[in-house]
Structure 1
Amino acid sequence: MIYPSVNQFEMNPLWQQKKLRDFCKANVTQHQAMKGLPEIAEERRKTIAQVCIRWVYQTGATLVVKSYNKERLKQNVDIFDWELSKTDIEKTNGIQQRKMILREDLVSVNGLSPYKPLQDLWDVEL
């Protein structure tokens, strides 16, 4: 079997996708992320977005950050001259997980729909 060299999926402190990240790591696939925090941000004098981006970076994922706001773009790349502490990482890793976009209307509930069941579409680590 040939595994992809990069697997792009949503990853953020609220949807960490640990099983998928472990699979990628075990199969030498680089994962690329697309998207307690206020307290950490305040302590670090950073924005919540910067803390989230730094967390993704410290997990070893390749980042995709974007904004149409020039000031936020500058903030998004201002994450390389500081680090989250081990405690910050543990706090962030402990955040209760939830799906960012619930689209149950696009899944099969009773097997009569052309769509897949929810468990086939989402990592069921919740």
Structure 2
Amino acid sequence: MEECCRLGLAKSIGVSNYSCAKLSTLLQNATILPAVNRVELNVAWQQQKLIEFCKDKGIHVCAFSPLGAYGFHWGTNAVMDSPILKDIATAKDKTVAQVALRWVREQGAFPIVRSLNKERMRQNLQIFDWELTDEEVRRIRQIPQQRACTWKEVVSPDGQYKSLEELWDGEI
């Protein structure tokens, strides 16, 4: 990929699902810094250590499943059903999705949201003219943490990764 950048065939390089450990290994050998790390990031999987690591290295964070992939077989309802987010949304006259997306933006990440519903698309864009209070952020930090997208399908006794712990470098 670096050669593609040098030849002008690509403007930048991005990675996906890189932990701090995997990024550290990459950065020891890379001559071109990845522009972005695309990872699962939402209020139920906050990844503060990874966000800080990426900020320190100048790597943007792209959040997939910022709403928890609600309704998908590998997703979680922990975001959209969060009582904490529901309380904040009610107090701010916002939707739970807007609060969740605003939280992602306030972490310095950019969310990727998928919807076919025009009203939801419009609502998803209405997160830039308001902020969460320090108290609301503190409450959100109390939401129990669990990775929804584990990629357990790639774990195998005969494969490169023998356990989820090994796959995610202990950042489960």
Q: Which has the larger radius of gyration?
A: 2
In the TM superposition, 1:106-117 aligns within 5 A as 106-108=154-156, 112-116=157-161, 117=163
- Counterpart secondary structure, 1:12: coil
Written as runs of structure 1 = structure 2, the 5 A alignment for 1:96-111 is 96-108=144-156
In the alignment, the residues of structure 2 paired with residue 5 and residue 88 of structure 1 have an alpha-carbon distance, to the nearest angstrom, of 30
Runs of 4+ in structure 1 off by over 6 angstroms are none
Residue equivalent to 1:50: 98
Does the CA-based 8 Å contact 1:4-1:29 persist in structure 2? Answer: yes
Structure 1, gaps ≥5 residues long: none
Residues 66-105 of structure 1: pairs in structure 2 closer than 5 A: 66-105=114-153
TM-score by length of 1: 0.86
Structure 2: stretches of 5+ with no match in the other structure: 1-29, 67-83
CA distance in 1, matches of 2:120, 2:159: 41
- Structure-1 separation of matches of 2:117 and 2:168: 31
Q: Is the 8 A contact 2:51 2:61 kept in 1?
A: yes
Which position in structure 1 is the counterpart of 2:80?
Answer: none
Give RMSD over aligned pairs.
1.8
The 1:123–1:58 alpha-carbon spacing in structure 2 relative to 1, beyond 3 Å, is farther
Number of residue pairs aligned between Structure 1 and Structure 2: 123
- Once residues 49 and 81 of structure 1 are traced to their aligned partners in structure 2, the CA distance between those partners, rounded to angstroms, is 15
Q: Percent identity?
A: 41
How many Å separate the matches in 1 of 2:167 and 2:50? 12
Counterpart amino acid of 1:121? Answer: L
